[in-house]
Amino acid sequence: MEKGEMAMKIEDGNNGSYSFPGYNPNSYPFSSVFDFSEVEKSSLGFMEILGMQDFNPLLDFPQELSSMVVGSPAPKDPTDQGSVKKNCVDEVLNYQQQQPATPNSSSISLASSEGGINDEQTKTTANQQVEDDEQQQNTKKHLKPKKTNQKKQREPRIAFMTKSKVDHLEDGYRWRKYGQKAVKNSSFPRSYYRCTSAPCNVKKLIERSFNDPSIVVTTYEGQHTHPSPLVMPRRTNLAGVSGGAISARCATTFASSIPRNLYQYQHAYHQQQPFDLNNTNTLSSLNFHYNHNGSSSISRMSNSAFLHFNQGTTFLSDHGLLQDIVPSQMLKEEQH
C-alpha cells in the first residue's frame, strides 16, 4: 500500500452504484488509499487542512470536474467542451435519478432521491391508525412497522477508502452510532452512523478492509441539510480521532469538493492564477478509472466511478492538492 493515495467511490441510490473497481473484501485490489496516519497526528482536521469549511457536497460540485468523479466517457470531439460538460453532467444526473444512463437525460432533482422517504412520510391517516394499532400490539417488539409498497429508494452514496488507524474519522459533523453488523467474508464489523442533527438524514457506514485492516471504507449516504457544527468529540475514544482525522465530512465533501479545492489551491498557491478546469494537462494528471463491470463491490454495486490519486502524478508533482495534504516528509520519501 502506497502512502499518499486515496480511493473513492460513488454509488447511486437504487442499488445501481459505482464501486471501487473490483472491490472485494476477499480480493482487495487497491493500492490507492489515502494515508491519513500522518494527518491524524496533526492538530488540524482534514477538512481544515483541505480548507473545506463550508462546502455543500453535490450542490457545489463544479460541473466540469464532477464528470471526473463520476467517470464520464471521453467526448467524441475533444474540442467540444460544451458537450463534454453536458455529457458529464448528464451522467451525474442519471446517477442521481437512479435511472439507466440515457445520453440525453438532463433533468434532475436532488430531492427526487428522497422520493421514497417522502412517500413513506405521507402515509394516509388510515394507514397511520393501523400502524399505531400495530405499534401498540408490538410494544414488546419495539419495532416500528416500516411497510411500504414502494421499493425503498436510497440516497446517492459516496464511499471512500482511507488508510487510518481509527474507524470513525472526525469530519466536523456529529454522528450517532445506531448499529453494528458483522460483515460477511470479513472479520471486521461494519458500523452504522447517523447524523445527530434532527432534520438531517445523512448516514454513513464504516468498515475495514478485509485484507488490509489499516484501510477504512467509509460510505456516505445523503446530504447534510445543515452546516457543520464543527464540534469536538465528547468521548475519549474519539479524541484520538479528533486529533486531525478526516472523516465523515471529509469523505462526504471530499469527493465532490476535490475540484473546488483544486481551484482553491491554485488560487492560494499560484498567485491567484485561475485554475482552468478544462485544462487537459491538469485533468490528465488524475488517474481516472471508470469500470462498467463492477463485478464485485460494496453493497451490491454494479457500476463504478473511481477517482484515483496516484503519487508522482503531475497533479502531485505540480504541487497540487495532495501535496497540501500529504506531509512533506512523505513526499521526500517519494523522491528517494
Of positions 1, 49, 183, 200, contacts DNA by CB under 7 A: 183
Of positions 31, 54, 102, 144, contacts DNA by CB under 7 A: 144
192 part of the interface to DNA, by CB under 7 A: yes
226 part of the interface to DNA, by CB under 7 A: no
74 part of the interface to DNA, by CB under 7 A: no
Task: Say how far apart CA 313 and CA 168 lie, in whole Å.
Answer: 29
9 part of the interface to DNA, by CB under 7 A: no
15 part of the interface to DNA, by CB under 7 A: yes
Give the pairing type, strands 215-221 and 287-291: unpaired
Of positions 72, 87, 191, 209, contacts DNA by CB under 7 A: 191
* Amino acid at residue number 92: V
Q: Which of residues 283-322 bind DNA (CB under 7 A)?
A: 299
CA distances (Å), origin 310, targets 117, 215, 285 = 38, 16, 9
100 part of the interface to DNA, by CB under 7 A: no
CB-CB contact of 79 with 278 (8 Å): no
Please count the residues of this chain forming the interface with DNA, following the rule CB under 7 A.
39
Q: Which region, judged by CB under 7 A, interacts with DNA, from 79-87, 230-238, 250-258, 288-296?
A: 230-238
Task: Say how far apart CA 133 and CA 26 lie, in whole Å.
Answer: 46
Q: Of the two residues 227 and 312, which places its CB atom closer to DNA in the complex?
A: 227
Cα 157 to its chain centre, rounded Å, is: 6
CA distances (Å), origin 216, targets 130, 219, 244, 312 = 43, 10, 16, 23
CA distances (Å), origin 124, targets 119, 120, 121, 131, 155 = 10, 10, 9, 10, 24
Of positions 76, 146, 332, 336, contacts DNA by CB under 7 A: 146
Q: How far is the CB of 38 from DNA (least distance, A)?
A: 24
Of positions 147, 226, 267, 292, contacts DNA by CB under 7 A: 147
Residue 303 sits at φ, ψ, to 5 deg, of: -110, 170
Q: How far is the CB of 203 from DNA (least distance, A)?
A: 5
205 part of the interface to DNA, by CB under 7 A: yes
Q: Of the two residues 111 and 182, which places its CB atom closer to DNA in the complex?
A: 182
Q: What is residue 224's three-state secondary structure?
A: coil
Q: Of the two residues 74 and 232, which places its CB atom closer to DNA in the complex?
A: 232
238 part of the interface to DNA, by CB under 7 A: yes
Residue 325 DSSP one-character state: H
Q: Which region, judged by CB under 7 A, interacts with DNA, from 30-38, 174-182, 276-284, 315-323?
A: 174-182
For residue 195, give the C-alpha cell.
447524523
Of positions 51, 75, 115, 145, contacts DNA by CB under 7 A: 145
Q: Of the two residues 61 and 173, which places its CB atom closer to DNA in the complex?
A: 173
Task: Say how far apart CA 324 and CA 326 lie, in whole Å.
Answer: 6
Of positions 76, 151, 332, 336, contacts DNA by CB under 7 A: 151
Region for 40 from its dihedrals, namely left if φ exceeds 0, alpha if ψ lies in -120 to 50, beta otherwise: alpha
Q: What is the DSSP string of 38-74?
A: HHHHSSS-HHHHHT-SS--TTTT--HHHHHHHHTPPP
For residue 154, give the C-alpha cell.
436510497
Write out the residues near DNA by the rule CB under 7 A: 15, 138, 141-148, 151-152, 168, 174-184, 190-194, 196, 203, 205, 231, 234-238, 299
